[in-house]
Structure 1
Amino acid sequence: MQINTNNILNNLQFNLAQVADPSKVDNTDSADKILHDSISSDMNSTKAELMNYNDAIGYMQVADGVLQGVSQQTDVLNKLDVATHNDALNSDQKSMLQDQMQQITKGISDTLSNTTYNGINVFNNSFKLGDEDVSLQVKSDSLDINNPKSINDFQNYINHTRSDIASFSSSASAKANELTTKFVNEANSKAGMEPDIANNVNNIKKDNLQLKASTFAAAHNTDLLAQQMKTLLG
């Protein structure tokens, strides 16, 4: 069963906000209030960093899903290119295949240009995450239906990009897991003052496990793709 990453991220963001909310405590003891405010401040800092990593994971999973479709369309281009060289076809039939290839190429270009995540162009963007500079620039300018090698090269380029995305997502997931553990530990300290947030803390743990499973599944699929490509290429 496919895991809906966006739903997981939305649930996680809600539960993080509920736990970190400093307005929920009603405590007149000044010492407890100072301790509560200190814990809340730490939690909000951890939450902000954690959501940055989770957003990056969601961003890259959108990118990988689109590139999976682009790779499949490029495979269709390869098959159509082979068909256009079939001597059994007449010129009209070959022309029809060429038109189909042009439509697919335009579709790939439009997809790469128009795919967004939170209003940001997915395949023409750079951002900083922690100490790492992240850049995802994917274009189809080199794709030429009259050049079979360019089609193969483009497909290899897409598959290598997906492999890089899987590596990044795995690293980001490990960092997000580390931050989640830190946040939960902070939340457990706060739960002594606010027993009603215990359910939110448990939900955060569940959401994080689901997010890790989703990221692992995506990385596994990309590993299988890489193995299949290696087999095909000899």
Structure 2
Amino acid sequence: MTSVGARRSQPLSHAERSAATRAQILDAGIKVMRANSFRAASMFEVAKAAGVTPGALQHHFGSKAELMMHLLERAIGSIPERDGRSAWPKPTDSLSRRASGFVQALWAYSYEPPRFLVAWGIYFGSAGDPETLKRVVAMRARLRVTLHNHFIRTFPELAGAPRLEAFIDLVLSSLRGIGVVRLFGPAPQSCAAQLAELAAVIAWRCRQPIKKTNKPATAKRPGRRRTA
């Protein structure tokens, strides 16, 4: 029987080497983006930081727009599991726990980490790059749908609430705003207080009774007139 150590000593396959090189390039790209800017993160600079030739980078990603999209996916990522369990709060948890858990999960995995600032560097930088901008808009639209679905699953009592989409967008915009402020330096106490207030607003919204809109009355069909 071949031991695990023996299997690990075998040379990497072409697919494994390719995947390792791509990961190496993406890690270097994130570092270049954090240290410089979207414009400074040229294919040449990323290749140099990754220790590969520009031709190798071109082979793996083709264009800067393609590279930026992969960097964005790596930066945004998805909310992982903790100890084998989803980091999203359960719909059966108490309302206060769900509200706090939802805000904290999004903040910890999407908005607070340095990779969030990398993502926004790509967002802002893509304004002058039509090809990248088009793909960024599409990716953000998909992300919005995913986060809206998570919110609705976490707070089922809001099903059918008026202006629910606008409220969810407001929650996400608030988190993004707190994240962008970190560009000017971390302020842990201020961030924590704002996150707690945002969770309180979500809980308050969930406690509000949902007013059902009255269906407009259907017009009665005119009856036939009786003739004398």
Is TM more than 0.5 here?
no
Bigger strand fraction: 1
Bigger helix fraction: 1
Rg (Cα) greater in structure:
2
Which has the higher relative contact order, 1 or 2, with Cα contacts under 8 A spaced 6 or more apart?
1
What is the TM-score normalised by the length of structure 1? Answer: 0.30
